[in-house]
Structure 1
């Protein structure tokens, strides 16, 4: 009985919500099921006539174990899966888009989109016991400890040479990142020509990733929505999705 009540309450919270009216760019990712590692990604722009596609749909890859509900702007629920560190699932829900990171001096982007050129001193902390958990950290020295080396963003791995941050479990207003709920979630270049799934990120072919990044305009409050197809259809009208 308690389990049934919890499921009902989760459904109620998910239905009493919609995409913020301030959001005028929405990246939509849909997977066939909770356990699928494949995703179709399209960028939409809000117009007077509703949402219009700004890019062609592109196939990408997700976590090797599929999806799980993440911590974002959408209402909280944990059914059927809740994202945890190391679970091999991509976070489902609605998330803010952060800045871009890459190894090149510059990239094609909107003038307002933050871009950080990554060096050997740039870390992304995935240690849930650290006060810097799920945050970018730049050292004032070359990494020397094993902890620092493990957290390095630049590790001679081509798929990670260009990234766009997805705000899952990020510190937001008065809510800190939750230890163990998952970290370091990005869009980045897919691996092995799309033959490999991820640990939780969304990966795309490099040309389509560069096109996506070039179109992101921070003034339009861009968001990323990622859901299994059945959940997308379930919430489409209520959440006012494309």
Structure 2
């Protein structure tokens, strides 16, 4: 039944789709256009039938080339852009929010949110030819090959010292991540006080990222919706967005 439902959802037109009813937390990111690398981010929580803002809007950065439709829980779309590995675009759509990662011993978070303190042996695979593409992998030895070193999550790079996974093109027990469709998409600390765009992630100031992570509750099925403002306005009523 679950497989049939997923197939049915995948062929629904964008305008006919709605957020899953179990979603009670929603991170909303809107950009001015498909080619903008700036984003406004807010966290909402559903109270009864209404969405209530839990945070003030914060300006962040996206991929240097803007946005492209990603692979999430929303119906498939490809125009005007479809996310590809290395295209410098952030994935647009609706995505599950996963666990947090970081180099810090501990962080302020809900008990239900998993947190992994990364070591030198923690990898995130961006090689689309690998069976581990777009997956977290902890190896049993110190990285020694060029492939392993390139995939290391811990790079002594402070903007990546705290991150929250965005479920774009996620591998699961049922299916592999689609090759070349984009990988390693996270919320993380912005670079150069917001002066630098990203390769595809969403970045915000550290204080706001810590605040966001502290409020994310997996029991409320949190999702991240990222769209250009025009598309957000277009789908707001049909998708039952804040």
Cα 1:182–1:72, aligned 2, differ >3 Å: closer, same or farther? same
Q: Is the 8 A contact 2:11 2:76 kept in 1?
A: no
**Runs of 4+, deviation exceeding 3 Å:** none
Counterpart position of 2:199 = 199
Structure 2 residue runs without a partner (length 5+) = 1-9
2:172 aligned with 1:177, yes or no?
no
TM-superposed CA distance for 1:172, in Å, is 4.1
Counterpart position of 2:36 = 36
- Correspondence list, 1:125-136, <5 A: 125-136=125-136
**In structure 1, what is the Cα distance between the partners aligned to 2:241 and 2:15?**
13
**Corresponding residue SS for 1:112:** coil
Counterpart position of 1:240 = 240
**In structure 1, what is the Cα distance between the partners aligned to 2:138 and 2:12?**
42
**Corresponding residue SS for 2:13:** helix
Q: Residues 149-188 of structure 1: CA distance to partner in whole angstroms, max 9, x if unpaired? A: 0000001100000000000000246332100000000000
Counterpart position of 2:186 = 186
2:65 aligned with 1:65, yes or no?
yes
TM-superposed CA distance for 1:101, in Å, is 0.2
TM-score, normalised to structure 2, is 0.94
**Cα RMSD after superposing both structures:** 1.3
- Correspondence list, 1:111-150, <5 A: 111-150=111-150
Structure 1 residue runs without a partner (length 5+) = 1-9
Q: Is the 8 A contact 2:61 2:204 kept in 1?
A: yes
**In structure 1, what is the Cα distance between the partners aligned to 2:111 and 2:224?**
20
Worse-matched range after superposition: 97-106 or 47-56: 47-56
Counterpart position of 2:25 = 25
Aligned residue pairs, count: 233
**Corresponding residue SS for 1:163:** strand
Counterpart position of 2:158 = 158
TM-superposed CA distance for 1:12, in Å, is 6.7
